[in-house]
Structures are given as C-alpha cells and as structure tokens.
C-alpha cells in the first residue's frame, strides 16, 4: 500500500508543470531556470524521474515476465505523454516534435534503467531470503 502512495505522489510530481511555475513565480524561476536550462541537465532529470518511477512501479508490477515489462514500459510512455501534453498546454504552444520526441525517448531510457534496477533489487532480495 505504501509503495502505491509513493507512486501516485511521484507521478503527481512528474506531471506538475515546473516550467510554468517558474514563469509565474519569479523567485522560484530564479532558482529553477539556471539549474535546468542546460540541455544536459534536462536529459539527466528526465532520466532520473522516469528511472525512479519505473523502480517504484517494479515493486508493484514485477518486470520478470514479458507482460510485466510491457505494462511498465507502457506506463512510462503514458506518463511521459501526459507530462509533455501538460507542458505544452501550460506553455500555450503547439508541439515542436523534435524536443518532445527527445524527451519521450529519454523518459523511456530512464524507464528501462529503473526496471533494470528494480529487477536486480528483486533478485538480490530473493537471494538474501534463500
């Protein structure tokens, strides 16, 4: 039950339009913008956000069967699409496909990393219990 609460909170954090908040709240923007403006930091943060999401999801949906893996990848893609849609909506712009596709690809990379870590953690826990 606790892991599901963390999943919901993590998804809410991912979906919250931080860039919009940075525009409407100058004090927040003065901290957020310099940190997250470089493209490499944007990539690192998307990777970490989705790796942690997949790791949390892997505690509920173990990535040990093809179905479990597909569900986790699908959920990562769904959250990524929702995040991109909310960012575009809050910015009031039409998609500039290369940036959105890059973000979704990075999100999926993070999802795969998180699933891998979740799977390794599960194996380690099973080995410790035997």
Range of the domain at 119: 2-129
pLDDT of 18 reads 86
- The mean predicted confidence, pLDDT, of the chain is 91
| pLDDT surpasses 90 at 122 | no
- Number of structural domains (the chain) is 1
DSSP track, the chain: -HHHHHHHHHHHHHHS-HHHHHHH-HHHHHHHHHHH-SHHHHHHHHHHHHHHHHHHHHTTS-TTSHHHHHHHHHHHHHHHHHHHHHHHHHHT----HHHHHHHHHHHHHHHHHHHHHHHHHHHHHHHHH-
pTM of the model: 0.89
Q: Which is higher by pLDDT, 93 or 22?
A: 22
pLDDT beyond 90 at 95: no
Confidence of residue 1 (pLDDT cuts 50, 70, 90): low
């Amino acid at each position: 039950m606790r892991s599901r609460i963390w999943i919901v909170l993590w998804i809410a954090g991912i979906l919250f339009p931080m860039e919009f908040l940075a525009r409407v709240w100058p004090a927040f923007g003065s901290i957020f913008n310099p940190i997250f403006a470089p493209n490499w930091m944007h990539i690192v943060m998307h990777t970490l956000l989705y790796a942690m999401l997949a790791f949390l999801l892997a505690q509920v949906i173990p990535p040990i069967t093809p179905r479990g893996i597909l569900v986790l990848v699908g959920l990562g893609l769904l959250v990524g699409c929702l995040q991109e849609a909310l960012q575009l909506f809050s910015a009031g712009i039409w998609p500039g496909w290369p940036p959105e596709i890059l973000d979704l690809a990075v999100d999926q990379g993070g999802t795969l990393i998180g699933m891998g870590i979740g799977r390794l953690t599960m194996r380690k826990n099973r080995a410790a219990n035997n």
